[in-house]
Amino acid sequence: MHTSARILFLLSVVSAVSLSIVGVSQAATSDCSRPANVPQAAYDVESFAITHNYSPPPNLVGGKTFQNIGNPLPTYAAPYKEYDVYNRGVGGRGPERVIISTVENYFQDYYSPDHYGTFILMHPTCGIRKVVSTK
């Protein structure tokens, strides 16, 4: 694992551990922080998938189980689903992915700008996901 990826991963683990200690009962609000290096498109994919039974947005690939080989992401929030962030068309899928925990109510969702080389916690200050279903 590259040094920068290791640092980001360790920061996400520290955030996750501190959330499990002090923030799990904290309700998610629109005040949850969003890292500047996560594009809005990643949040759009996340929102769509969560409110559509983990189906991918139209014209995007996603919804398959993320294998978490080597456990780079916390196992307590597994299983995860993976999604493309952008539709790259005929040229291929591109490297950007959103990885969403399917454990109800946890904000343990990640953005990977480089096809799983780096994982950025999408909601580092939130403990519980509050979603209104569109069903």
pLDDT, tens digit only, all 135 positions of the chain: 443 444 444 444 444 433 332 232 233 335 578 899 999 999 999 999 999 999 999 999 999 999 999 999 999 889 999 999 999 877 788 999 999 999 877 778 999 999 999 999 998 887 655 544 444
Q: Please indicate, yes or no, if residue 129 is contained in any of the structural domains.
A: no
Q: Tally the domains of the chain.
A: 1
**Angle 111-29-129 (CA atoms, 0-180°, nearest 5)?**
55
What is the three-class DSSP state of 66?
Answer: strand
Q: What is the CATH number of the domain that holds 29?
A: 3.10.450.30
Q: Please indicate, yes or no, if residue 128 is contained in any of the structural domains.
A: no
Q: Please indicate, yes or no, if residue 130 is contained in any of the structural domains.
A: no
Q: Dihedral sign for Cα 7, 26, 104, 52, please.
A: negative
Q: Please indicate, yes or no, if residue 41 is contained in any of the structural domains.
A: yes
Give the domain range for residue 13: 3-121
pTM for this entry: 0.70
Q: Please indicate, yes or no, if residue 87 is contained in any of the structural domains.
A: yes
**Angle 20-28-36 (CA atoms, 0-180°, nearest 5)?**
90
